[in-house]
Structure 1
Amino acid sequence: MRYRNTTLAAATLLVLSMSSCAGPPGNGGSSERASWSSYTTTDGALVFEYPADWTVQELPPAANDPAGGVSVQVNDAGGDAVARLDTGIIADLVCADPDEDVAYTEYDTEPMPELDSEQGTEQRFVYRSVAPSSPTRGDPIATYAVITEIGDRGECGLFDYFTFTKSSGGRFAGAYPAEEATEGQSYLDGAAAYENTAEFRDIKRMLVSLRDTR
């Protein structure tokens, strides 16, 4: 199975464990799909919508917060993992400026006022790329994620985390996979074109629908 995941320097993933129920589509998307389902984390703290023909798979919690957390993986209709949600993740939201030769591009963003944080931060959806992905790797990477707004855009590269409770936060994210690029198309050209696909619109709608139920 192709696994879309981002290798980032900051922390382990956290995924949300959920229970399913039918519900109306979430906001923040332009997908033409008629049928969406709703999932609530097993701790009842978060809920999000996703296409009815996709699946949510519970995973062992990746939490490093003593208070615990949940983890889930969202798979598309073909069984490919398109996003992962983890909660109970303690990640230091402090980052260094990228090297001067790092190219940061932001393709799409949307505020998420319904996702509250006990730390008083503002969250948003973002789809962006950085090249190279790290000082030791030359390959670029593009990720879509729910993040906490910290500093100037691009300042923290691809720090794909958001704050949630007073002690920790989470990560609801995935990456544009290199195999999606068409023949003769570079990874970054493919990442830029991906924004205009139905799959991206579904993924964005799903991530933007994440909200607090506390």
Structure 2
Amino acid sequence: MRRTASSRAAVSAAFLCAVMLAGCGQQAAPPAGTATNQGTATDPVTSTTTAAPQGPTPTSDSYGAPSPTGATTPPAAAWTTYTTADGQLTFDLPAAWSVRDPAGELPEGGGAFAEITNQAGKPLATLRTNMATGSTCTERHPYSVLDTQELPALTQNGLTPRYVFETRGNATDPGPANTPGAAYGIASGPAPTGDSACPIFHFFTWPPTAAMFGAFYNPANNETPGDPSLPYLEKAERYAGTAEYRDIKRMITSLRPAG
């Protein structure tokens, strides 16, 4: 990303990539054992699970959309509920996924940290709170919004954040340098308009400062159908139609205050 030295340090190198741990390249699987709903790192996720529905469901599918008359839907996987170690936020996730919420890895000042991985140990999203943020829009690029949804449960001071899966760049413009060109997460800033947008900035207002829950799209982590040699942005578009992506969206959009 072509920025001044100060904005590069504040946003791109130390901010957009280092902070969004789940999407900035292949990461090692978490150590043996994963977090419970109390934020420890020794046991599998053990919070309350929802059993998969059995038998025909003629009126709706697992995401609430109407189904054709007489159609049946496959059983939904069991889901569980996770509460961050600081007791402030709760979200739902597939019971087969894992949460790592390590102690002692946050900067002084506290906050919550949770890294969500799939069955293979691939990171799919990261949640962090109590973050200092800042951004300067020094360049703009073509963009597309692959998916979006408002999140009223996270409204602060009259501002309702939104979930968004979006891209930067196209066939003639590669997008920002040194930053992946597709990401999903929660944003409080204004949605882009016109034919170009600033680099992706997925942070939302959460007391006392800001928070993030999402990741850059990474074909090494996000299971994507099709030829592996396809262009990155085409892979991102394909990923938006996968079951794994729908689970990620359901997980992120379930984020809410605990209690």
Q: TM-score, structure 1 length as denominator? A: 0.78
**Aligned equivalents of 2:107 and 2:214: distance in 1?**
16
Q: Flag structure 1 segments of 5+ consecutive residues without an equivalent.
A: 1-7
Kindly provide the CA deviation profile for residues 29-77 of structure 1, in whole angstroms up to 9, marking residues without a partner as x. 839633100000111110000000000001344456x4x2021100101
- Per the alignment, residue 189 of structure 1 pairs with 234
- Per the alignment, residue 5 of structure 1 pairs with none
1:58 aligns with 2:101: yes
Q: 1:178 aligns with which of 214, 219, 222?
A: 219
Q: How does 1:51-90 map to 2 (within 5 A)?
A: 51-59=94-102, 60-63=104-107, 66=109, 68-90=110-132
Shift of 1:123: 0.9
Q: Which has the higher helix share?
A: 2
Q: How does 1:18-167 map to 2 (within 5 A)?
A: 19=38, 21-24=47-50, 30=63, 33-59=76-102, 60-63=104-107, 66=109, 68-92=110-134, 94-96=135-137, 98-99=139-140, 102-117=141-156, 119-131=157-169, 132-134=174-176, 136-137=177-178, 140-150=180-190, 152-153=192-193, 155-165=197-207, 167=208
**Distance of aligned partners of 1:168 and 1:210 in 2 relative to their CA distance in 1, 3 Å threshold:** same
Shift of 1:17: 9.4
Larger Rg computed on CA atoms? 2
Kindly provide the CA deviation profile for residues 153-188 of structure 1, in whole angstroms up to 9, marking residues without a partner as x. 5644310111111x3111111122134462341111
**Greater relative contact order structure (CA < 8 Å, 6+ sep):** 1
- Per the alignment, residue 212 of structure 1 pairs with 257
Q: Flag structure 2 segments of 5+ consecutive residues without an equivalent.
A: 1-10, 22-34, 39-45, 52-61, 65-74
**Contact 1:70–1:86 (CA under 8 A) maintained in structure 2:** yes
After superposing on structure 2, the runs of 4+ consecutive aligned residues of structure 1 that deviate more than 6 Å are 14-17
**Aligned equivalents of 1:55 and 1:129: distance in 2?**
27
Q: Which has the higher strand share?
A: 1
**Contact 1:140–1:188 (CA under 8 A) maintained in structure 2:** no
**Aligned equivalents of 1:120 and 1:54: distance in 2?**
33
**Contact 2:186–2:213 (CA under 8 A) maintained in structure 1:** yes
Identity within the alignment, %: 28
**Aligned equivalents of 2:149 and 2:191: distance in 1?**
16
The CA RMSD over aligned residues, in Å, is: 2.9
**Aligned equivalents of 1:184 and 1:13: distance in 2?**
28
**Distance of aligned partners of 1:38 and 1:157 in 2 relative to their CA distance in 1, 3 Å threshold:** same
**Aligned equivalents of 2:36 and 2:199: distance in 1?**
28
Q: TM-score, structure 2 length as denominator? A: 0.65
**Aligned equivalents of 1:157 and 1:126: distance in 2?**
14
- Tell me the SS of whatever aligns to 2:19: coil
- Number of residue equivalences: 195
**Distance of aligned partners of 1:182 and 1:14 in 2 relative to their CA distance in 1, 3 Å threshold:** closer
Kindly provide the CA deviation profile for residues 118-139 of structure 1, in whole angstroms up to 9, marking residues without a partner as x. x4421111001113342x44x7
Which region of structure 1 is more displaced relative to structure 2, 35-44 or 181-190?
181-190
**Aligned equivalents of 1:202 and 1:83: distance in 2?**
11
